[in-house]
Each structure stands twice: as C-alpha cells, then as structure tokens.
Structure 1
C-alpha cells in the first residue's frame, strides 16, 4: 500500500477511538462534579504524553521487526512462551472488545442523531456484527479508496468541528462556557483521577496495527511504515487534544442519549448537513475499526495454531482465502459480549483497557530485552524509548486492573487466565501426540526394495492379459501425469454424470484397485497407513499437499530418506488449502482412469477424550462427503490411537 492508503486503512482503529476515549475520561471525572472536571486537561495531557511515548516505542519495533512485529511475536521471541501467550490473550481480548466497543459506539452516534432507534441498539448492533461476519467470510479486505474514505471523512469532520469551535471561542476571548450544574457523587482523589486516566487511555487502541502490517507497505516497507505511524500519532494527538479542548471551552459534559461528539457537533454546526456528515463519518469509521479486528484476530489465532497453542482448524483458509473459523469465533464472542453488556460503551470500556495495555506492556518489555541482547547501532536510545513505553503501559494496565476491577476488569483478567490455561493444555496435548507419532528406528522396518503387489506378479506369470491389466494399474505415474496435464479442475462443478452402469463390477476379478494415501508428514500414523495400503497387494500412490515449494522439497527429502518405495505426487497449495486440492486430484484420477476403483486411505488420530477431537482435523469426513457423488471412490481410515501419552499398537480400520 501507498502511505496515503495505508494511513486511513491501518489507522481507523486508533483514530476512531477519539469517538469514545475522551467521553470515557469525562464520564469518570464528572462523578466528582465541577472539581472533578477541572482535572480533564491535566489528565488529557498525561494521556497525550503516553500516546507520544508508545508511538515512539512502536517506531523502534518496526525497525527491529521489518516483517511485522505484533505483541505475540515480540513477546514470544524475547520473553518466552508464557509471556507470549499472555500477550496473545491481551490482544485477542482487545480484538473482541474492538468489535463490541466500535459497534456500540457507532450505535451511540446513530441514536444521537436518530433518538427513535435507542430502544433497538442491541438487535441492530448484532445485525451489524452479522453483516461484518458475512462480508469477511466473503473475503472483504481493507484496501483502496472504499476503505480509506470513512477515515479521511472522520478526520475532516473532527478537524472542522474543532476549527469552528475554536473560531467561535476566539470571539469571546476563549472564555469557557459554564457547564450545567453538577452534583458530585464521589470525592475527588487519586483513585478517581487514575480511573479517569485508565478510561481515557482507551483512545490509544489500535496503535499496534501499523507495526503488524509492515510487509503491506511499498518499498522500503519499514521506512514507509514508520512515516505512516508518525502521521497517525500526530493525527491522534491532534484529534484527541482538540476534542478535550472543545469540551472544556463549550462546557459539554457526558449525558445519556447523546454522545459528547454529537453535542459538540450541534454547537458548532447546528442540526444541518455538517452535523449529519459528522455523525455519519463517526459511525462509518467505527464500523471500519470493527472490521480491522476481523483481519488481526484470525491472524493471531492462526499463529497460535501454527505454534500448537490453538486447534489446527484455525490454520485453514476458506474458499475466499480468509481464516473462516477465526472469523466465526470472533463474531460469536463479540456478539455475546455486546448482548451481555446491552451495547453500552461505558460498561465495556473497563474491560477494554486491560487487554490493550497488557499487550502493550509485554510487547514493549520484549523490545527492551531485544535491544539489550542486540546492542547494535543506537541501541541505547531505542531501549530508552521502549522502556518508557513499557513502564507507562504497565502503569495504565495496573491502574485499570485495580480501579476498575469491580466494574468489569475482573472479567478481562479472568479471561486472560482461562486463555493461558487452555492454550498450555492444548500445547501439552499436541506435544504428547507428537511424541507418540515420532518415528523410532527400532519401531519402523524400512523396506529393502520397491513395494509391488504380489498379486500382480503372480498374475503376470499365469496370464499375460491379467498381467497387462495389472501393469496398467500399477503404472499409476502415467495416470497422474495425465491428471496434471489436464490442468486445475473446477471442483465446484461437481462430478461427471453417472450412468446406470457406471459401477458394473459384481465379482472381485472385475475390480481394478488403486489406493491413494494422503500424507501430511512422515510419522508413525502415516507409516502404518502406508503399510496397511501396501499389505492389500494393490497399487499405491502417496499424495502430499504442501503450502510452499520449500515445504514440498523438505517432504521429498524425507521421502527419499525413507527409501522412495512407493510412487509419490506432491501438490503445492500456497494458500494452505488441503481438502480442495485433494478432491480435485482424486477427481482428476477418476476421470483419467474410470476403470479403476480408487480407495482413499487416510491416517486418523484417535484420542480418548471427546474434547480433544476438535484439535484434530476431520479430514476423512470432509473427503467422504465431497467424493460421495463420484462412482468407484472409497474413503477409509487407518486409526492411530493416542492414550495417556502413548499409542495403542494395534489399530483397526473403519
């Protein structure tokens, strides 16, 4: 992306927080009455300093991680596995709440302009989340003028609002307008001020987005990303400080039924077109901010799945090249949170601050360790910036956790704890399975020669015609080459028409077999499956789907090390799709060799507990469902049982 496109696309989450961050700050201070509101400017200045410090810290992160450095990656690389998981928990809590808070704040902007909809914010908000779900499952991406327009419109609207307000205030000598009479319900003290600081700091959400997306920039990516981040921090500080200044000068205080931005827009523009434009731009940029989470949440979940901390189904890309399962999980979680809190932004803010600043703290702490280890050019300056960001982020995290514990922060902290427990248990299970599957020289007998079916050899001696038919079946390489030459198939078109006599075989002698064994890697389960297929004394073809040429070459080398005893075909699927290439290839074989009965034999990991089943891919069921319409296709499995850290030696077929 060019910087002019990347700025609005990647800054939508951060800049849109101006719609609720200042209001969250004032909503706490107003509890202290007039004395409480007097702290709005000092607290806002502290938040501006925090924005500047964290922004400079992420500039160092971009320089150190030019290929993208999110909190999970940085914390894992420099602090270890557990801090990385805690950072991931904070990030994922942040993304869920980004959707819920953005939708609730967007609905508040809409109901401020159209009060008649205030009673329907929950169903309308859920409908918005459903629309986001459907759009992202269809492959909507944040790119181009379509996604840049709402952010630029919001920037123009807020700058115009502040500009008109300052012009009006200049006419009266910048004398603040008296605010409505306030009745203090809480004494002004350190606790109140710190709560306001933690709430207002939610205006910083989304600062990390640019450091995550460095590879998306035009060359030189890291330099363009740092420039874009600087522009974003400058705009964020300007919009935030301008909004706070206007609330102070106009005497605006939070009230139910209308947002602070709506009140300011009414004062500056009246109820005309500019007011409608401001509210519409606010609602649209908040919607875009919610959509930002749909890019980041599934990506972090896929990284966790890659590292065996989440079910591997989250590595799977859908037909539209989106992480469909992660998108669905995010939508369900955000909808549940939104409904549970009745779409109330003020109630959601305490949960928001904990996850955001937990991730910030661990990311910046990881960068401190990174610079201390590297000690390259300018490392002291970079370490100082990141240490300042880490300390200030930790201060906000601790403040939010303590002061807002009873208001909902306990739920965010509990969520992080549960997430850590679940991910470590998942990792332990995958480690146990990997140990059970690991090849052991004393367990695997490597064949001394190429495997060939004995039935075919016997037939060759007894009957030349039968031998010719068997040789035709054994020569599967010709069939697979013909399938490859046919080019990619449209698997959505369905199989060829099946005639009435498509399956005429009624005796064993009439059936010509070909066994196809899909393999993800060479381990005990796949070896057992290959042994089972070869024991049937019929031709066998091993089939591997690889996400890249490098992975394909690694598998080929492992296959040669084993001895290359069976024909092997490798399909490169760069988008990590597994099932569709397998289906397409089997259909190709079937159309090239309709005389063969093709048996797809799949290794299957069988676990003792039902809750472990979701951790393993239901490949057999998906293939069976997809290939059922084709004649002469059989799908079967060879189970490999995992129980209490070891495998049951004698599996059976299903």
Structure 2
C-alpha cells in the first residue's frame, strides 16, 4: 500500500531560512519529485535490495553540534574532531598542491593567513552597548575628521563671502543628522533582526529599488575604505610632511594589511576595537574644550581667516555643493541598524540607545569643530588638514598634538575596516537572491567571506590609486551612493508604516518621511552639483551594478528553469530490478596481507579483483543530481548517496525530499557545523577509504557546464575542487556527470 503524499511530506520541515544553502522546492516541484520517485520504483530494485548490497556501514559518526562547541580560554576559534577520529585527532584536509611552487605557495599563504580553520567553528559573541558604540560607530564618528573640511573646501572658493555661510550650512547638516538618526531609530523598531538598506528597500519597494539601495551601499563601502585611508594617511603626512610623496604607496600598503587581516577571519576582542574610537572621542572633546577655553580668554572674538583667492561667486550651486560635501560626515550612521542581532538582549532597545549616543556624539563633535574653525579662522590647506591646524594652534607640537593625530589616523583606518564587515555580508545577501555570483556566499578557510573581502580590496585600491589618495578628490564620489541608500531605506520605511499601521505608526511615518525627503535632497544636490567633479563615476557605477546584477539574475533564472524537476524529463536508470550484486564478504587480515603482497596494493588486473562502491555527492535534488543518481544506479553496483548539510534543519528538509522521492538508494547525511561543504565531503571519502581499503571508490559528481565560458564563474566549482582534493587518495576514482545548460 502506497503512502499518501501528505504522509510522505510530513518530514520536510518548515521553509528555508534566508541564510539556507539548500534551496527550497515549490509545491509543483514536490509533486514532480513524487512522480519521479514512482517512475524510479518501476525500473529499480527495491530500497532494501540496494541497502543489503552496500559493502560498508555509511555511518562514520558526526561532527559535534555547534551548541556544544565551547571556546578554549579566551579564544573564539575551537577545534572540531573529524569523523571517525581517535581521541585528540584533528581534521587536516588542506588540498595537497602539486610541485614545489604549489607547496611554497601554501606555506606563504599559511604564514600570512594562518592555518586553515576547516576544523574550527566560530562561537558567536554578543556586544554590550559600551563595546558596540565604538565598534559600530567608528565610521560615523571618524567622518568629523573630513566632513567639516570638505564643506569648508567648497565655501572657501568664494572667499570670506562664502565662509559667511558656514554656520547656516552646518546647521542644516546637524538638522539632517537629527532627522536621519530618529528615522533609523524607527527602522530598528521595525526590523529588530537587522534591517539594512537593501533588505528594507526590497521588502517594501520591490527588487529594483532594493538593488539600487544595494548599489549605493556597495559604492559607499568601497569609498569608505578609500576615503578613510586617504584621510588617515593625510593625518600622518600632516604630522610628518616628508612622507607626503609616498601617499599612494602608504595607502595601498594599508589596504593590503586590511586585506590580510580580514582574510584571517579572526575578529579581535571588542576592547581592541574600542580603544582607537574612544581615544578619538577623547581627543576631539579635549580639542574642542581647550580650544573654546582659549577663545573664552579672548572674549570669543573670531580671528580673521587667511586671505584666499576667490575663484567662484556665492550662489545656490556653491551652497548646495558645500552642503552635500559636509553631509558626508553622516556616513556609517546606518551601521547600528544593520547589526541589531549583535547586541545583548533586549537587542532592539540596546541598539536604539547606542544609536542615540552615536548621533549625540556625532553632532557634538561636528558642531564643536565647526565652531572652533570659525573662532580660529582656519581654512583648508593642501599641506595640512584642518584638524592638524586646530591641534597645532591649541596644543602646539607637543605630545598632545601627536596623540590627536595618532588617534585620528587610527580611527580612520578602523573606519575603513568596518566596510570589510558589511561589504561581504551585503554581497552574500545579493548572492542568496541570485543577483551576484553564488561563490560570494561561500566561507573561506578562515570562516570569512574571503571572495567578498578580496573584491572590496581590489576595488578600493583601484579607486585610491585613480584619485592619487586625495581626500578632496574622493569626497564628490561619496555622497551619491550614501544618500541613495539612505533615501530608499527611509522611503521603504514610510511604505512599511503605511501598510502596518500599528501603534504610533503616524509618528514613525513622519520621522521616516522627513529622513527620506532630506536624504533625497542631499542625493539630488550631490548628483547635480558635483556631477562633473567626480559624482558621474558613482552614478555610472550604480548603473553598471544594476545592469550586471539583472543579467546575473536572468542567467540564474534560466539555469533554475532548466534544472527544475519536471515529470518525464528526468533520466531514469536502466532496468535494474535485479539490483546490484550482494555485498562481498569482508576480507580477513590474512587475505588482505596475501593480496597486498601479490598485487602490490593497487595492482588489481582482473575485473573480478575490483570491488566497487559508487559514492554520489548530492547537493540538491534537481535534474543534474537526478542524472548523477541514474548514472550510478544503472551500473548495477552498490551506490551510496552523500549529502552535506550545514544545519540540522536543512538535513531534515533534505531527508524529507529524499523520502518523498522514494528513498530508493542509501543516503548518508553529514552535518557540517561550520558551514563548509567540500572539505567534510572529502574527509568522508577519505575516512571511508581508510576503513575499507579493499574497495575502489567511484565518486560521482554532477557538474554544470554553461554555454558561454564567462557564465561558468556563476556556478559552483565544487567538482573541480573535489577532483584536486581527492586525487592524492589511492583507489578513488572521480567521475563528473556534465549537465549542459
């Protein structure tokens, strides 16, 4: 009696989460899977026959679950024992390179990045407010080191007449800070699990606005690295003018250091992140306090600004350019709303409190620096930053001046590092939604999104070198992407409150509407007033990003339609009702010794001397996977399907799909607690070979082959990586089953 479809789908579990690696199957595909399984049952031996023919016990143990992994001492990275291991054994499955060049490359890589953490897992940490403030606010707070100077650099073009507008323009920027800060407080309340601009815009405005917001974010993160490092290097060269000719070389060197540090994947303790930011806050507050104290002794009479050549007249366009340049002091203000889950409970409440402190400090430091500039008559200079001039006037060239410059450089470099946390994460979300190559979803050896880190570094180096590491040249590019993301995020929140209409929705809608309107004003102002000064680069970058993302989504949509399960389109095995031969008797130690002496280990020369087991690596049940299973079953040799799941939930869901299909072949699911898939599969095959050296293991891999070579990058290179990793193992044959798109 055949079970009903409802009973057979009872173990499927819930729908896949946003971070799931195993794609979900629609109701149509589940129906097709059921029909395909029935067709298999008519041409294949029963599942019991396939299980009896299996010459091995497929259960080699399991990795410990993530919940039971505890960090040793103060470390966050802990070893995970391999499958079927002896006590104290560690998993070491680094792919063995061929030749001395390859081995030397691995040694250099490990010296720079550390040993591969294929046997490690990250123990998550939650941040207190006192730690989260410097960690998540470094980008926003450090922007006061270049935001006021960028505003003055525009106003000074009109001489003293332009500088007279310093307070009105700065007042408008402070008002914008308050409005956007309040609006992001509402975003935290609406998205307590983290609501970045891409997620908010996509959920409420649709996929195209979401992509535009993502494009703005990606541009922002690249420019955050370039601008922060340019400002940090400027702080260094202001104190040490002899290093000025080496600005580009120093900046590129810093980006390389950040690249290596982030590829290592080990996040430093919160206190290490906090120290530079708190030092910068102390330095800025001390500079403002002592500067105002000195001015008080002179009755707060402002000193006249140094005369400068007038190259432009005061007009609306000049004021708009100054406003959009100064508004770059708000970059990074959205970081806390993106990282709400990183706080200790109650997460959203602690995040809102931290955001309020950040906005308050940002306003106090920005307004204080503007006031000091007005009182001292300092104007931007190509030889020395405004902050350096203020510190010189207030403290001279002593140790306090050195402390202020060192704190400024350190926090700016730290602000660049915050982009390395967010850029790969946004890129992984885009890859999850098929708008970016899926390779950006994969964690590297050190449990970081290595491919995203490398891409960010390359883009930042390109921008930094192209603009010679000059902050003033990079600022016009900055505001466009930042405020595009701000505008779409806040507009999405307006739609969210209008749809939800819960308690206090009108007040929240007003806050977000004000933030959206003001952000749109800055975005349009920057786009128009600075278009020919460099903003055109950001506009083209956003447009190009949108075009590429849509083409990638189009290709993945085509691939999914070709790979989707449909009845009567799946390859079935040849008529195998008789099933595979029964499992051979296990050889005794004496037989194995005699056989090894006679044949030399791998020297089987007669067909009857080869005992095969086909191991099919199945990532998902699509047409490519079904073809690989049919190919293995048609050989009428024992078959074992192996699936790597990254969570218990995904393992349960795949088991449900397998049961719905009919459970025709033996299946072993290995749960990897650290989100790796290739290495656990290699280790499983290696452990299977170690336990059963008499068997010839044929590892069968489904492989996607694209029509155009450039599209191959969009698909997993798992088959190639497995071939390289399994090649050193004796008596292991790797067979690829190509599926042509």
Provide Cα deviations, 1:88-124, integer angstroms capped at 9, x if missing partner: 0000000000000011000000000000000001011
Match of residue 603, structure 1, among 702, 711, 714: 702
Cα distance, 1:593 vs. partner?
1.0
Aligned: 1:560 with 2:676: no
Cα distance, 1:454 vs. partner?
4.2
Which region of structure 1 is more displaced relative to structure 2, 134-143 or 335-344? Answer: 134-143
Which region of structure 1 is more displaced relative to structure 2, 137-146 or 214-223? Answer: 137-146
Match of residue 135, structure 1, among 250, 261, 269: 261
The 3-state SS of whatever aligns with 1:564 is coil
Match of residue 108, structure 1, among 208, 222, 234: 234
Match of residue 376, structure 1, among 492, 496, 502: 502
Tell me what 2:376 maps to.
250
The 3-state SS of whatever aligns with 2:378 is coil
Distance (Å, rounded) in 2 between the aligned partners of 1:118 and 1:15: 25
Tell me what 2:149 maps to.
23
Aligned: 1:320 with 2:473: no
Contact in 2 for aligned 1:31/1:186 (Cα 8 Å): yes
Distance (Å, rounded) in 2 between the aligned partners of 1:455 and 1:363: 59
| Residues 36, 99 of structure 1: alpha-carbon distance in 2 compared, 3 angstrom cutoff | same
Tell me what 1:456 maps to.
581
Tell me what 1:468 maps to.
584
The 3-state SS of whatever aligns with 2:584 is helix
Cα distance, 1:442 vs. partner?
2.5
Cα distance, 1:397 vs. partner?
0.2
Provide Cα deviations, 1:486-528, integer angstroms capped at 9, x if missing partner: xxxxxxxxxxxxx993312222221111111111110111000
The 3-state SS of whatever aligns with 1:468 is coil
Cα distance, 1:630 vs. partner?
1.0
The 3-state SS of whatever aligns with 1:456 is coil
Cα distance, 1:577 vs. partner?
1.4
Match of residue 625, structure 2, among 526, 533, 546: 526
Cα distance, 1:144 vs. partner?
1.4
Considering Cα pairs closer than 8 Å and 6+ residues apart, tell me whether 1 or 2 has the greater RCO. 2
Distance (Å, rounded) in 1 between the aligned partners of 2:584 and 2:364: 81
Distance (Å, rounded) in 1 between the aligned partners of 2:535 and 2:138: 25
Tell me what 1:97 maps to.
223
Tell me what 2:606 maps to.
507
The 3-state SS of whatever aligns with 1:141 is coil
Tell me what 1:589 maps to.
688
Matches within 5 A, 1:430-509: 430-444=556-570, 454=579, 456=581, 468-469=584-585, 501-509=600-608
Distance (Å, rounded) in 1 between the aligned partners of 2:602 and 2:468: 59
Q: TM-score normalized by structure 1?
A: 0.91
Matches within 5 A, 1:402-413: 402-413=528-539
Cα distance, 1:43 vs. partner?
0.3
Aligned: 1:629 with 2:722: no
Tell me what 1:551 maps to.
650
Contact in 2 for aligned 1:447/1:563 (Cα 8 Å): no
Tell me what 2:362 maps to.
236
The 3-state SS of whatever aligns with 2:314 is coil
Tell me what 2:712 maps to.
613
Provide Cα deviations, 1:240-269, integer angstroms capped at 9, x if missing partner: 000111000000000011000000000111
Aligned: 1:61 with 2:184: no
Distance (Å, rounded) in 2 between the aligned partners of 1:452 and 1:188: 89
Distance (Å, rounded) in 1 between the aligned partners of 2:577 and 2:560: 30
Distance (Å, rounded) in 2 between the aligned partners of 1:535 and 1:56: 65
Distance (Å, rounded) in 1 between the aligned partners of 2:607 and 2:362: 75
Tell me what 1:354 maps to.
480
Alpha carbon RMSD of aligned pairs, Å? 1.6
Distance (Å, rounded) in 1 between the aligned partners of 2:655 and 2:378: 69
Matches within 5 A, 1:134-173: 134-141=260-267, 143-173=269-299
Contact in 1 for aligned 2:571/2:626 (Cα 8 Å): no
Tell me what 2:395 maps to.
269
Tell me what 1:188 maps to.
314
Cα distance, 1:310 vs. partner?
0.5
Cα distance, 1:455 vs. partner?
5.2
Contact in 2 for aligned 1:62/1:68 (Cα 8 Å): yes
Unaligned runs of at least 5 residues, structure 2: 1-126, 588-597
Cα distance, 1:573 vs. partner?
2.4
The 3-state SS of whatever aligns with 1:180 is coil
Aligned: 1:386 with 2:386: no
Cα distance, 1:199 vs. partner?
0.2
Tell me what 1:175 maps to.
301
Distance (Å, rounded) in 1 between the aligned partners of 2:580 and 2:492: 63
The 3-state SS of whatever aligns with 2:581 is helix
Aligned: 1:38 with 2:154: no
Equivalent pairs, count: 605
Contact in 2 for aligned 1:455/1:538 (Cα 8 Å): yes
Contact in 2 for aligned 1:202/1:352 (Cα 8 Å): yes
Provide Cα deviations, 1:537-561, integer angstroms capped at 9, x if missing partner: 2111111112221111111111001
| Residues 268, 140 of structure 1: alpha-carbon distance in 2 compared, 3 angstrom cutoff | farther
Contact in 1 for aligned 2:700/2:737 (Cα 8 Å): yes
Cα distance, 1:419 vs. partner?
0.5
| Residues 448, 602 of structure 1: alpha-carbon distance in 2 compared, 3 angstrom cutoff | closer
Cα distance, 1:294 vs. partner?
0.3
Which region of structure 1 is more displaced relative to structure 2, 96-105 or 508-517? Answer: 508-517
| Residues 410, 173 of structure 1: alpha-carbon distance in 2 compared, 3 angstrom cutoff | same
Distance (Å, rounded) in 1 between the aligned partners of 2:695 and 2:218: 49
Contact in 2 for aligned 1:544/1:571 (Cα 8 Å): yes
Provide Cα deviations, 1:551-604, integer angstroms capped at 9, x if missing partner: 111111110011001111112224331111111111111111111111111111
Q: TM-score normalized by structure 2?
A: 0.80
